[in-house]
Amino acid sequence: MRDTKHLEKHANKLAESKKEKELFRAQRKAVEAGAHGTLEYTIKKGINKDKIADEKILKSKK
């Protein structure tokens, strides 16, 4: 009897945490492109050093 109580309690705890994680994922928002300086990043090493990482440079890397 005692073992089943612990197993049921553990199973309920796992189910609740799984449901909580699923709800949290659904509430995420998309990130704005170019927010906080991410769009005009200056490259620090390599061939394109000191250039701004714009669409021309990034497309050639794909």
Cα angle 51-54-57, degrees, rounded to a multiple of 5: 75
What's the domain range around 40? 2-61
**Tens of each residue's pLDDT in the chain, 62 residues:** 678 999 999 999 999 999 998 888 877 776 666 666 666 777 888 887 888 777 666 665 55
Do 33 and 39 contact (CB within 8 A), yes or no? yes
Helix segments in 1-62, DSSP class H:
2-26, 55-61
- How far apart, in whole angstroms, are the C-alpha atoms of residue 16 and residue 10? 10
pTM of the shown model: 0.41
pLDDT at 11: 95
**What's the total number of domains in the chain?**
1
